[in-house]
């Protein structure tokens, strides 16, 4: 074998070994950042090292600093494992090394991304003619959609942003819910919209935007308006009432954006589609396939109802570029990039329509099973309605809750992460992984029972 083949062979061996150990290894890392810097640091050597040896060294050194995210008992943040077909496809994406901004340059990978986008629109009941741009994740999906929205609402007010810039542009009223995800604020900051320029609308006890509060916020507003709604509040999993809120916002001329990083996928389930009822009437949607669809990182999706709005915001110039219809670089901020949508195609092809629905239903049933089990532990209180994939719980005091969160990570059976909800410390368990089994849930509940009840 040549150097490339030997390095790939080493990578395959180490990857397979890592995946084989997931069931038994501690879920949380056993080494700190300082430990890992010490392992990999030092002065750069004058002479290089054999590629396969580099991979061996890397895999051995990294092992104690790795998190068992691909396993069945990682419930922190909102992070899914990787479907087998998506993982293998991602390896091919790296091996193919295609620049996937242009369909003329790389027709195979762009075609798979385009088809994956069409399949997803169909699964989620969104307009078949919408543009789907593959970006790095939910953050950039929100940014891409909101940049498109800003351009469109200013154009509707007679302002050509590309020509005249923002300095003297009409002000945009930017409306968000009180319990929005932080990526919305961050995207707004990227777009030059400050906190003091943001209109915050009250939400209910589960984090859903209140229709009466939105009506009051929009009363008397004149000029360009963007309203951000949410499919899946990150703590409770709650969904805004799209059937009530979207027509209300549109009566005021607003562009409506839905942040559905993990919640958009509820529309693929017959049992859970009610949560997204009316969502299809919005103007843009953001999601993140590495969460609920379980593909590798670097696969967010920015969806815009009218592709002309995407083109107006993002199509570049350059006499050296070749244009062929609607290309990836027409609907996202990037020009050169890897074929990040190919693993999504592989996951969807592997699962099929019914498989996607079964995945979503299983994530929800896992959340219900976890909530019921945790509620049976003396002292644990479930503090959200388990309508989707999120379970949030606490003990009687903030200190006890925080200590329990630290203890489960140190114990190693499972990973959950801390949160704060309505002024109380909480622990948040997100059911996001296809790999989670009933046994994983039972082992996690047993670990919490031992830590709480002794």
pLDDT of the chain along its 454 residues, tens only?
799 999 999 999 999 999 999 999 999 999 999 999 999 999 999 999 999 999 999 999 999 999 999 999 999 999 999 999 999 999 999 999 999 999 999 999 999 999 999 999 999 999 999 999 999 999 999 999 999 999 999 999 999 999 999 999 999 999 999 999 999 999 999 999 999 899 999 999 999 999 999 999 999 899 999 999 999 999 999 999 999 999 999 999 999 999 999 999 999 999 999 999 999 999 999 999 999 999 999 999 999 999 999 999 999 877 777 777 789 999 999 999 999 999 999 999 999 999 999 999 999 999 999 999 999 999 999 999 999 999 999 999 999 999 999 999 999 999 999 999 999 999 999 999 999 999 999 999 999 999 999 8
Q: What is the pLDDT of residue 316?
A: 82
Residues 6+ positions from 195 with CB-CB distance below 8 Å: 185
β-strand partners of 152? none
Non-local CB neighbours of 46 within 8 Å, separated by 6+ positions: none
Going across the sheet that includes 300-304, the strands are 131-135, 300-304, 284-288, 255-259, 225-230, 173-177, 198-201
Instruction: Give the model's pLDDT for residue 1.
Output: 76
pLDDT for the residue numbered 290: 94
- Rounded Cα gap, residues 60 and 58, in angstroms: 6
Per-residue pLDDT, 454: 86
pLDDT the model gives residue 320: 74
Distances (CA, A) of 118 to 91, 113, 140, 225, 439: 23, 9, 20, 29, 36
Q: Any bridge partners for residue 390, and if so which?
A: 430
The pLDDT, as a whole number, for residue 90 is 97
pLDDT at res. 405: 98
Rounding to the nearest 10 degrees, give the CA dihedral for residues 13, 18, 20, 25. Answer: 150
> Among candidates 382, 356, 99, 378, which has minimal Cα distance to 237?
382
Sheet strands side by side (includes 424-430)? 381-382, 390-394, 424-430, 417-421
């Amino acid at each position: 074998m040549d150097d490339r083949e030997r390095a790939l062979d080493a990578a395959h061996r180490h990857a397979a070994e890592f995946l084989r150990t997931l069931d038994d290894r501690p879920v949380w890392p056993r080494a700190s950042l300082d430990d890992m810097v010490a392992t990999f640091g030092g002065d750069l050597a004058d002479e290089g090292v054999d590629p396969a040896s580099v991979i061996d060294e890397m895999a051995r050194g990294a092992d104690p600093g790795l998190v068992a995210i691909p396993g069945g008992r990682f419930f922190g943040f909102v992070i899914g494992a990787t479907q087998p077909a998506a993982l293998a496809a991602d390896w091919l994406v790296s091996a193919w090394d295609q620049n996937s901004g242009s369909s003329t340059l790389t027709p195979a990978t762009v075609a798979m991304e385009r088809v994956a986008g069409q399949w997803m629109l169909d699964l989620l009941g969104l307009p078949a003619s919408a543009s789907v741009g593959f970006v790095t994740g939910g953050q950039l999906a929100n940014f891409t959609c909101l940049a498109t929205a800003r351009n469109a609402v200013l154009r509707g007010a007679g302002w050509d942003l590309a020509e005249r810039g923002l300095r003297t542009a009409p002000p945009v009223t930017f409306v968000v819910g009180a319990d929005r995800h932080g990526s919305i604020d961050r995207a707004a900051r990227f777009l030059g919209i400050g906190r003091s320029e943001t209109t915050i609308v009250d939400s209910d006890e589960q984090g859903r935007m209140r229709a009466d509060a939105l009506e009051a916020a929009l009363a008397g507003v004149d000029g360009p308006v963007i309203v951000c709604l949410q499919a899946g509040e990150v703590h409770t999993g709650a969904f805004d009432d799209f059937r009530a809120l979207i027509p209300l916002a549109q009566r005021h001329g607003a562009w409506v954006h839905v942040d559905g990083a993990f919640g958009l996928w509820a529309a693929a389930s017959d049992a859970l589609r009610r949560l997204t009822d009316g969502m299809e009437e919005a103007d843009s949607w953001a999601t993140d396939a590495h969460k609920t669809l379980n593909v590798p990182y670097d696969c967010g999706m920015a969806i815009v109802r009218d592709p002309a709005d995407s083109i107006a915001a993002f199509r570049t110039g350059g006499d050296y570029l070749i244009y062929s219809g609607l290309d990836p670089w027409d609907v996202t901020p990037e020009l050169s990039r890897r074929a990040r949508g190919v693993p999504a195609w592989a996951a969807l092809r592997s699962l099929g329509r019914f498989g996607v629905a079964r995945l979503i239903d299983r994530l929800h049933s896992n959340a219900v099973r976890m909530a019921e089990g945790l509620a049976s532990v003396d002292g644990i209180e479930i503090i959200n309605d388990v309508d989707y994939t999120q379970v949030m719980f606490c003990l009687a005091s903030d200190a006890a809750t925080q200590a329990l969160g630290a203890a489960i990570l140190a114990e190693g059976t499972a990973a959950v992460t801390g949160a704060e909800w309505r002024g109380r410390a909480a622990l948040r368990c997100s059911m996001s992984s296809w790999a989670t089994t009933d046994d994983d849930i039972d082992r996690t509940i047993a670990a919490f029972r031992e830590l709480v009840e002794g």
